Structure 1
Amino acid sequence: MKAQARKVLGVLGGMGPAATVAFLARVQALTPAGGDEDHIRVIADINPQVPNRHAQPEAAGRVLGEMALRLKAAGAEVLAMPCNTAHAHAAAIRAAGLPFIDMVAETAKAAKAGAAKEEATARTGARRIGVLATLGGEALYAEALAAEGVEMVRLSEADRARFMSVVFGVKAGDVGSAQRAAMRDLAAALVAAGAEGVIGGCTEVPLLLDAADLGVPLTDSAEVLARACVEMCL
């Protein structure tokens, strides 16, 4: 396929910056390319000044909608956003009139498929998948997993508070051994509560947690989104 036939990817980023950079690296790594010209053109707005998605949802939605319009004006043909929580404002982004890849829905589908593959589809009934996410992200995943016929396993209130502390530590640049151990413990708590798979439903999670850290499938939402972007843009 000639490079000019590929779609231009617009990325709404900066939530947080490190997670966005890691996502862009995944897009590059997952693109089948023999040279520079075979890669996808990406226009990224890495905007750490998006209002807080938890405390200022209306302002966040307005800014995300404006970012989507600017990306469209710059030449983007497909939009993606490597932030799960901000998908609560998907409607504002879609208002720009471009295809928007739903990270949460794609990850829910991938997690269900991964758990089924791991168990060789031998079991019947609803599967249970744990989610490492913000409170807002949990709400989005609860809906997306329910649409897939899957039950979501949540962190306890105390563990959720610990999770947010770890995430904010990553945003501050701390990806050290103590942070990694804490994220492993949180994932293990979901497995102990009956999760047959775990979703990294916050893009900071894969900066601390690897699939080898768990005895059940780990679905990395940033990885899922990157694959979906490559597929759509090629």
Structure 2
Amino acid sequence: MSEDAPDTSLVLGVLGGMGPAATLEFLRQLQAFTPAKGDQDHIRVLMDLNPKVPDRNLLGSAAGAVLAEMAGALAGAGAEVLAMPCNTAHAHADLIQRASGLPLIDLIETGASAARDLGARRVGVIGTKGATRLYREYLAAQAMGLVSLDADRQEEFMATIYKIKGGDLGPAVQREMAGYAADLVAAGAEAVIAGCTEAPLVMGAHDVRVAFIDPGELLARRCVAVCLGLEPAPAALGA
């Protein structure tokens, strides 16, 4: 794109900070997936990296109200489409869209659609209880079953996630995360979705014996495509 040419790309608003390391990885992917020869070819991104969003995993959390405020501020600053690299926070997707009047490129939908496109019938999800509930709904709507961790392993998974949030990306944490994926495969999963954006910080396709889906990476690709006009933007809520 010439520096003198009008910029027709959409401005992306990102609700981030849940957690910060996962958000920074998402931003890195946005840059890496953009076909650019110079600065001016990249999409404009307005970011609210807010690690003060209340914990989405706690009952009675005020996360929804904070996310709605963030979304409205991003819209006011000029964002034209939103993305949020946090699976669990998508429980507030409708509220975020109503508060901002902007469409949200849905992370959960992106991950579930990728599993459908692979032809999987039973899909394992490594995620929080909240994220797993969201994926269950999306997968069921596309005639797929969900495979989840048993209660004890789910508690262990949450402990691992908080280690990652605390900065531990070491070999022990990597083995723990690979172990959760192995449990899902042993229970019949034909594909495994990283239903928490911290999970891909310590694992990848080489750690899983079946297809591994990273919705955060796919979301970054979709954001670039939507903002550059290569893919239609999702409809705004109520449009």
> TM class by shorter-chain length?
over 0.9
| Aligned residue in 2 for 1:106 | 110
Matched-pair identity in %: 54
TM-superposed CA distance for 1:135, in Å, is 0.3
TM-score (norm 2): 0.91
Alpha-carbon distance in 1 for matches of 2:27, 2:116: 25
1:71 paired with 2:65, answer: no
Q: How many residues are treated as equivalent by the alignment?
A: 224
Long gaps (5+) in structure 1: 117-125
Q: 1:49 to 1:38 in 2, by over 3 A?
A: same
Alpha-carbon distance in 2 for matches of 1:156, 1:60: 26
TM-superposed CA distance for 1:84, in Å, is 0.3
1:85 paired with 2:88, answer: yes
1:155 aligned counterpart, secondary structure: coil
Alpha-carbon distance in 1 for matches of 2:52, 2:67: 11
| Aligned residue in 2 for 1:10 | 13
Cα RMSD over matched residues? 1.2
TM-superposed CA distance for 1:54, in Å, is 2.2
| Aligned residue in 2 for 1:149 | 143
Query: Which structure features the higher share of helix residues?
Result: 1
| Aligned residue in 2 for 1:185 | 179
TM-superposed CA distance for 1:56, in Å, is 5.1
Q: 1:84 to 1:154 in 2, by over 3 A?
A: same
Of the candidates 26, 40, 58, which is equivalent to residue 29 of structure 2?
26
1:222 paired with 2:225, answer: no
1:162 paired with 2:156, answer: yes
TM-superposed CA distance for 1:221, in Å, is 1.2
Measured against aligned partners, the alpha-carbon deviations of 1:140-161 in whole angstroms (never above 9, x if no partner) come to 0000111111100011111111
| Aligned residue in 1 for 2:233 | none
Letter in 2 for 1:215: R
1:195 aligned counterpart, secondary structure: coil
| Aligned residue in 1 for 2:43 | 40
1:4 aligned counterpart, secondary structure: coil
